[in-house]
């Protein structure tokens, strides 16, 4: 036991020496920084901690896209709505006019979900660019589902335009293009609901 206590105290001394040396090395740098910013406004230390803990915008966008796709797959429209602007524009991979507005998209989405089960979307090759409070993202996808009792699979590209609203990113434009499919396109499009209610 005495050997263990001696060895432990030796490691503790080494750790303390390292801690003091790091503190000494950091102190002159921070003193210089204080002199440079002498006239700067005081900042709240909790703001700096929150800022350091917050993910960069591109990571936040990547996470938002992943979460939105997850809710889309399981059919949770309430949670999905958090990721889309009220005036979102949806352009599907099918030959049809864009769907404008969350309410119109929701109707088309619910019609599509009624026809599909076992929905899975795999996303790859995501590229994100941020410019202030706006951003775009593009990725490739593979969509697979049972549509009206038949297997369907689509591969394509999606491009999103996003806007920062408060501390979160929302999708303002969602444009998907189908490259190839195992079944006809209209069965997995966003639907044909139009802003004016016409088909």
Domain 57-188 has CATH 3.20.20.140: no
Relative to beta strand 84-91, strand 99-100 is antiparallel
The model carries a pTM of 0.64
List Cβ neighbours of 69 (8 Å cut-off, separation of 6 or more). Answer: 121, 123
Share of the chain above pLDDT 90, in %: 57
pLDDT digits (tens, 9 = 90+) for 118-148: 999 999 999 999 999 999 999 999 999 999 8
Q: How far apart are CA 84 and CA 19, in angstroms?
A: 48
Please state the φ and ψ torsions of residue 58, each to the nearest 5 degrees: -65, -35
Q: Helices (H), strands (E): how many in the chain? A: 5, 6
Please tell me which residue, 94 or 196, carries the higher pLDDT value: 94
Q: How confident is the model at residue 64 (pLDDT cuts 50, 70, 90)?
A: very high
Element containing residue 14 per DSSP (H, E): helix 2-36
For the cut 70, the answer to whether the pLDDT of residue 188 exceeds it is: no
Q: How far apart are CA 36 and CA 25, in angstroms?
A: 18
- The whole-number pLDDT of residue 91 equals 96
Nearest to 64 by CA among 143, 164, 193, 190: 164
Q: How far apart are CA 35 and CA 43, in angstroms?
A: 15
For the cut 80, the answer to whether the pLDDT of residue 101 exceeds it is: yes
> Token digits for 75?
């059919």
Mean pLDDT of the chain, nearest integer: 76
- The whole-number pLDDT of residue 180 equals 85
> Token digits for 48?
């700096």
């Amino acid at each position: 036991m005495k050997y263990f206590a001696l060895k432990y105290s030796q490691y503790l001394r080494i750790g303390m020496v390292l801690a003091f040396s790091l503190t000494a090395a950091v102190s002159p740098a921070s003193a210089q920084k204080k002199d440079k910013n002498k006239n700067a406004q005081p900042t709240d230390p909790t703001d700096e901690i929150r800022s350091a803990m917050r993910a960069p915008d591109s990571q936040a966008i990547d996470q938002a896209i992943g979460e939105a796709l997850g809710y889309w797959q399981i059919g949770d429209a309430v949670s999905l709505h958090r990721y889309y602007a009220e005036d979102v524009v949806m352009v599907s991979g099918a030959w049809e006019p864009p769907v404008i507005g969350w309410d119109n998209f929701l109707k088309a989405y619910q019609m599509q979900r009624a026809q599909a089960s076992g929905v899975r979307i795999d996303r790859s090759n995501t590229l994100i660019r941020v410019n202030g409070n706006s951003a775009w993202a593009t990725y490739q996808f593979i969509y697979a589902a049972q549509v009206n009792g038949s297997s369907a699979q689509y591969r394509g590209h999606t491009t999103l335009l996003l806007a920062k609203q408060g501390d979160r990113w929302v999708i303002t434009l969602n444009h998907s293009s189908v490259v190839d499919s195992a079944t006809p396109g209209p069965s997995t499009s966003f639907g044909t609901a139009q802003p004016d209610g016409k088909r």
